[in-house]
């Protein structure tokens, strides 16, 4: 006889399924096996009831599932809430069956948009099936959101994530307004918020300051924060101020990856206090003074700043920064490379990874010498450089290879294209041959440039005595002159080259 799995083992198995499958509904059949399986699966199944990543069923099946979710929560409502609903619409009693489980107590992840949409589906289907009439539809909709929201927040034992993104349209505004009211009226009873680790919001709804004010007193252990399209208010700053363990933040002025203000606007706000120094990874569209920051991701796509807008970047003393990632589609940030050079100088030598990306290929008048020199001089532990360089930067490249002895990956965006002449990578590749760079294991060339068979062959030939193989790749706009691929294949057979060819990113 096969021994029966105990509840702890079943919980581990079901938790694994929840994290790896696209549709949490796979646990429903598990709940029907026997009492033990049901008892172990239900808390996991109802911890995130809207978790559907790649649903493959029909729209009607999905709507039916959402209707059943709300039915289950209605069955959990206290009697006074059920009475309040049935006074407005008697037929609603048909949905008020007693449930075997306290489903609301299992909730750990609340996505307000999915919740609000499920309420709307329930109302629409109830009208269609004759449970409620059109005259009472609006008031039932409002009361149902109110009572179920209160149920979820007061009965949940441990809410871990709260997602308020995409709730700024007309259909979802009631959800935010009601959430603010429930938080304000029942704050003393909301112990589940003590365990909140993940908070996300997008939009510009005027009710958000009220929500932040309520959350501040309960939620002080946020680890992952995502704010999109929201200008900071005093209540939001207070909310950030009380966080003790914040270490991963994404903050953007606009929900679509654009920014509409300058670095100086943010730096004049006392946005982060001493209690927010636990942050180690930041993905923002502007800068704050995070003393212990280890990763910084900046993206700029369609907003032009003045030089004054970028200058605060040069003054940031991010002494523990190890990863700096900057991406733009604009000419303008590259006109201020001296500011970025100063920023690198202020990082105090801890940088391991620098990525400086642009989608532009025709940066003709750019001077990268100061930028590369600053990296070489101030980043002795640098392992990855992905960014611009000009064909005449051989002296700066030599300094980079001399000072940054741990360098293992180079992705060079060769710039300086003009109407009459394309730059060649041969000068830089020859410098790489002379400097050897024994730890280099990845080299990629991008930009509208030329690379010649003879220089590639010489580079590989110099590396024949090195134990470390190299990956050699080029971007789609690079023109290989001669039989570069054949040369790569020959040296691959000789054990010099590991992989080669057209590549889209540094990891390939």
CB atoms within 10 A of CB 283: 16
Strand partners, 471: 442
Tell me the pLDDT band of 28, cut-offs 50, 70 and 90: confident
CB atoms within 10 A of CB 251: 20
Burial label for 456, CB within 10 Å (0-12, 13-18, 19+), is: buried
Helix (H) or strand (E) holding 299: strand 295-300
**Structure tokens of 36?**
């033990």
What is the average pLDDT across 283-291?
50
User: Nearest Cα to 251, choosing from 312, 192, 293?
Assistant: 293
Model confidence at 507: pLDDT above 50 = no
If one compares 383 and 225, the residue with the highest pLDDT of the two is 383
Residue 37, pLDDT score = 79
List the single range of 166-175, 180-189, 310-319, 401-410 with lowest mean pLDDT.
310-319
Residue 92, pLDDT score = 62
Residue 482, pLDDT score = 93
Q: Do the beta carbons of residue 372 and residue 414 sit within 8 Å?
A: no
What is the average pLDDT across 380-408?
93
**Structure tokens of 152?**
């979820």
Model confidence at 382: pLDDT above 60 = yes
List the single range of 2-6, 178-182, 295-299, 453-457 with lowest mean pLDDT.
2-6
If one compares 28 and 300, the residue with the highest pLDDT of the two is 28
User: Nearest Cα to 473, choosing from 437, 490, 497?
Assistant: 497
Tell me the pLDDT band of 483, cut-offs 50, 70 and 90: very high
Model confidence at 417: pLDDT above 80 = no
C-alpha to C-alpha distance for 461 and 453, rounded to whole angstroms: 12
Q: Which string of b and e fits 8-40 if b means at least 16 CB within 10 Å?
A: eebbebbeebbeeeeebbebeebbeeeeebbeb
Residue 252, pLDDT score = 65
User: Nearest Cα to 310, choosing from 293, 333, 282, 285?
Assistant: 333
Residue 362, pLDDT score = 53
Query: Got the DSSP string for 419-479?
Result: SS---BSHHHHHHHHHH--TT--EEEEESS-EEEHHHHHHHHHHGGG-SS-EEEEE-TTPE
C-alpha to C-alpha distance for 106 and 380, rounded to whole angstroms: 50
Model confidence at 291: pLDDT above 50 = yes
pLDDT digits (tens, 9 = 90+) for 233-244: 788 888 888 888
Give the rounded percent of residues in the chain with a pLDDT score beyond 70: 78
pLDDT digits (tens, 9 = 90+) for 329-362: 655 556 778 888 998 988 878 899 999 887 655 5
Integer angstrom CA distances of residue 155 from 56, 63, 174, 193, 257? 32, 25, 21, 11, 36
Residue 145, pLDDT score = 93
What is the average pLDDT across 51-71?
73
What is the average pLDDT across 227-253?
78
Q: What is the pTM of this model?
A: 0.61
C-alpha to C-alpha distance for 362 and 160, rounded to whole angstroms: 47
Strand partners, 450: 424, 479
Model confidence at 259: pLDDT above 50 = no
Model confidence at 103: pLDDT above 80 = yes
Q: Do the beta carbons of residue 466 and residue 443 sit within 8 Å?
A: no
């Amino acid at each position: 006889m096969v021994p029966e799995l105990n509840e702890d083992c079943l919980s581990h198995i079901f938790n694994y399924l929840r994290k790896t499958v696209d549709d949490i509904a796979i646990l429903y059949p598990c709940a029907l096996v026997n009492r033990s399986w049901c008892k172990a699966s239900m808390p996991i199944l109802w911890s995130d009831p809207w978790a559907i990543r790649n649903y493959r069923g029909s729209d009607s099946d999905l709507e039916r599932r959402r209707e059943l979710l709300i039915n289950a929560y209605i069955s959990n409502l206290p009697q006074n809430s059920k009475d309040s609903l049935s006074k407005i619409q008697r037929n609603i009693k048909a949905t008020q069956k007693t449930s075997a489980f306290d489903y609301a107590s299992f909730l750990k992840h609340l996505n307000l948009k999915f919740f609000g949409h499920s309420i709307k589906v329930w109302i629409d289907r109830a009208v269609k099936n004759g449970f409620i009439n059109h005259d009472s539809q609006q008031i039932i909709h409002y009361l149902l959101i109110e009572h179920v929201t209160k149920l979820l927040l007061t009965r949940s034992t441990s809410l871990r994530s709260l997602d308020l993104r995409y709730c700024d349209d007309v259909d979802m505004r009631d959800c935010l307004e009601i959430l603010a009211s429930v938080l304000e009226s029942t704050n003393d009873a909301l112990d589940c918020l003590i365990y909140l680790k993940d908070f996300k919001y997008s939009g510009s709804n005027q009710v958000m300051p009220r929500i932040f004010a309520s959350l501040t007193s309960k939620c002080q252990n946020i680890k992952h924060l995502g704010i999109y399209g929201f200008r900071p208010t005093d209540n939001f700053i207070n909310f950030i101020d009380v966080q003790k363990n914040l270490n991963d933040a994404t903050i953007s002025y606009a929900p679509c990856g654009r920014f509409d203000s300058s670095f100086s606007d943010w730096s004049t706000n006392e946005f982060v206090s001493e209690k927010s120094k636990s942050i180690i990874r930041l993905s923002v569209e502007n800068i704050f003074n995070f003393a212990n920051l280890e990763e910084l991701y900046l993206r700029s796509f369609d907003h032009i700043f003045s030089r004054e807008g970028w200058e605060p970047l040069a003054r940031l003393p991010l002494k523990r920064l190890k990863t700096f990632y900057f991406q733009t589609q604009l000419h303008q940030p590259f006109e201020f490379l001296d500011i970025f050079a100063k920023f690198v100088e202020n990082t105090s030598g801890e940088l391991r990874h620098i990525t400086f990306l642009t989608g532009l290929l025709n940066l003709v008048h750019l001077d990268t010498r100061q930028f590369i020199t600053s990296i070489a001089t101030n980043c002795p532990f640098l392992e990855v450089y992905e960014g611009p360089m000009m064909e005449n930067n051989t002296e700066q490249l030599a300094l980079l290879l001399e000072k940054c002895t741990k360098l293992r990956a180079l992705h060079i965006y060769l710039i300086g294209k003009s109407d009459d002449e394309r730059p060649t990578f041969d000068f830089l590749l020859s410098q790489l041959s002379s400097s050897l760079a024994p730890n280099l294991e990845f080299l990629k060339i991008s930009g509208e440039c030329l690379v010649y068979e003879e220089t590639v062959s010489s580079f590989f030939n110099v590396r024949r005595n090195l134990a470390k193989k190299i990956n050699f790749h080029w971007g789609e706009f690079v023109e290989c002159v001669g039989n570069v691929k054949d040369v790569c294949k020959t040296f691959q057979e000789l054990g010099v080259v590991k992989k080669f060819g057209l590549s889209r990113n540094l990891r390939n």
